[in-house]
């Protein structure tokens, strides 16, 4: 029995995918489990395997097509099986040459016209057009079907065109004359539009929804980063790969989340849901937009394993090779722009998560120590929270715990 090839759902939020290429041509044999096609979701590129063995047939989607999840795009036929016949074409419409010419001039489908005799005549077409040219019930400008089509193609408003047809109806010639007149007029400069990837469009949509629907509030704190720098230096003398400040922060954030589970929660259908795992997402900028690969169970990983995992995820993100599982399950996000010289910033919460931590650069600043001005390396942390899940006190307590861990990393071992 023929097996349908459908656009798969690779995530709960996925609604459609873009077909990039077929690995097999129509009529070629396929084997279950081998790559059959490659698709692009809003987050990554994925190879989809064949779900059955047989002959590929009736391909209906081409590279570049955006296809809704669940829509059939091909068949895999069993050995010796023939493809079902497509639906038969509609019956041929009989019309006189003059009637056919008039219909073509007005972009009229002859199947809409009821003939008075055995075939459609000139008077049948003219009668139908007269009815169509009558003022529409919704108050729109009367116009022929071809005039409406041409107006749409030339981006012209029918109401602004003087019609020369019956009852002032706009005809195709009127639209073409108006288009020619506009072409002779000087055109204003057209702004250049930057091409947007599908990933960027989806990112823009989701961040807009977050900004419009999530009640944000922000907590900011300066923290002495000297112990953090010393920890990194000591760790990098002992193992590879070299740990970054982000690695150390992810480790300490994971410990703090275990102590403050409300920050590791999410908002779902009007309820606060506490997550059992601590899965920290890292905001990674790529050419096409922003990705947030996830370090799963970050609180259970040692620093070396965490640094290795972070390095692999970032490399795959920049190469466009992240798996769907790498992007799912995040319970908290860290966004670090310190490497770009940014002192502090407010990040937008990544729904349905409850919070996101924005990290600025480590910079020497004059701070009071024992009543005396001292130059110390400091880092600014900004916590963005969803007020439906976290209140100010809980957010402040989490930030206080995290600051204490940064200033005394050994306390993370408690």
Nearest-angstrom CA–CA distance, 282 and 291: 8
Closest to 224 measured CA to CA, from 413, 396, 375: 375
Query: Which residue in 106, 216, 260, 387 is the catalytic one?
Result: 387
Q: Which residue has the higher pLDDT, 165 or 344?
A: 344
Please enumerate, as own/partner, the contacts of 136-142 that have beta carbons within 8 Å and a separation of 24 or more: 141/170, 142/167, 142/168, 142/169, 142/170
pLDDT 10s digits, 326-342: 999 999 999 999 999 99
Backbone CA torsion sign across 242, 248, 249, 255 = positive
Average pLDDT over residues 97-108: 69
CA atoms within 13 A on the CB side of 220: 9
pLDDT at 187: 62
Domains in the chain (CATH in brackets) are: 3-77 (2.40.50.100), 97-178 (no CATH), 199-413 (3.30.559.10)
| Whether the model pTM is above 0.75 | no
**Local confidence band at 138 (pLDDT 50, 70, 90 cut-offs):** low
Gyration radius (Cα) of the chain, Å:
32
167 vs 169: CA distance, rounded Å: 6
Does residue 86 surpass a pLDDT of 80? no
| Per-residue pLDDT tens over the stretch 39-85 | 887 777 888 888 889 999 989 888 888 888 778 899 999 887 877 76
Least trusted range by pLDDT, from 68-77, 105-114, 133-142, 303-312: 133-142
Q: Which of 117-121, 280-284, 293-297, 371-375 has the lowest mean pLDDT?
A: 117-121
What DSSP letter does each residue of 176-227 carry, written as one string? HHHHHHHHHSPPPPPPPPPP--HHHHHHHHHHHHHHHHS-EEEEEEEEE-HH
Is 387 a known active-site residue?
A: yes
């Amino acid at each position: 029995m023929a097996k349908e090839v459908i656009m798969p759902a690779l995530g709960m939020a996925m609604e459609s995918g873009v077909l990039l290429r077929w690995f097999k041509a129509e009529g070629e044999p396929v084997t279950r489990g081998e790559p059959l096609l490659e698709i692009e979701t809003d987050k990554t590129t994925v190879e989809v395997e064949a779900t059955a063995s047989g002959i590929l047939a009736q391909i209906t989607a081409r590279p570049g097509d955006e296809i809704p999840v669940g829509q059939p795009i091909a068949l895999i036929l069993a050995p010796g099986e023939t493809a079902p016949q497509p639906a038969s074409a509609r019956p041929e419409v009989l019309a006189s040459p003059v009637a056919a010419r008039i219909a073509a001039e007005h972009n009229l489908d002859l199947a809409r016209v009821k003939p008075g005799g055995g075939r459609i005549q000139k008077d049948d077409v003219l009668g139908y057009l007269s009815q169509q040219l009558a003022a529409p019930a919704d108050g729109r400008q009367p116009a022929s079907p071809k005039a409406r089509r041409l107006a749409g193609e030339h981006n012209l408003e029918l109401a602004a065109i003087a019609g020369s047809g019956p009852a002032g109806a706009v005809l195709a010639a009127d639209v073409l004359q108006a288009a020619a007149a506009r072409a002779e007029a000087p055109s204003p400069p057209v702004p250049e539009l930057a091409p947007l990837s599908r990933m960027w469009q989806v990112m823009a949509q989701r961040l807009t929804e977050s900004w419009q629907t999530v009640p944000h509030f922000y907590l900011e704190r300066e923290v002495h980063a000297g112990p953090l720098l010393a920890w990194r230096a000591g760790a990098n003398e002992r193992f590879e790969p070299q740990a970054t400040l982000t690695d150390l922060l992810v480790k300490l954030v994971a410990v703090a989340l275990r102590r403050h589970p409300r920050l590791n929660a999410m908002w779902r259908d009007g309820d606060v849901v506490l997550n059992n795992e601590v899965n920290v997402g890292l905001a990674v900028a790529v050419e096409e937009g922003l990705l947030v690969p996830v370090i799963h169970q970050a609180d259970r990983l040692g620093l070396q394993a965490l640094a290795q995992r972070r390095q692999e995820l970032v490399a795959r993100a920049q190469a466009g090779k992240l798996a769907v599982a790498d992007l799912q399950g995040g319970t908290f996000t860290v966004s670090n722009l310190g490497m770009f010289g940014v002192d502090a910033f407010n990040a937008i919460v990544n729904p349905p998560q409850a919070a996101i931590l924005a990290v600025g650069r480590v910079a020497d600043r004059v701070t009071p120590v024992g009543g005396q001005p001292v130059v110390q390396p400091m880092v600014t942390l900004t916590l963005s929270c969803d007020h439906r899940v976290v209140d100010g006190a809980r957010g402040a307590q989490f930030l206080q715990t995290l600051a204490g861990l940064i200033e005394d990393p050994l306390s993370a071992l408690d």
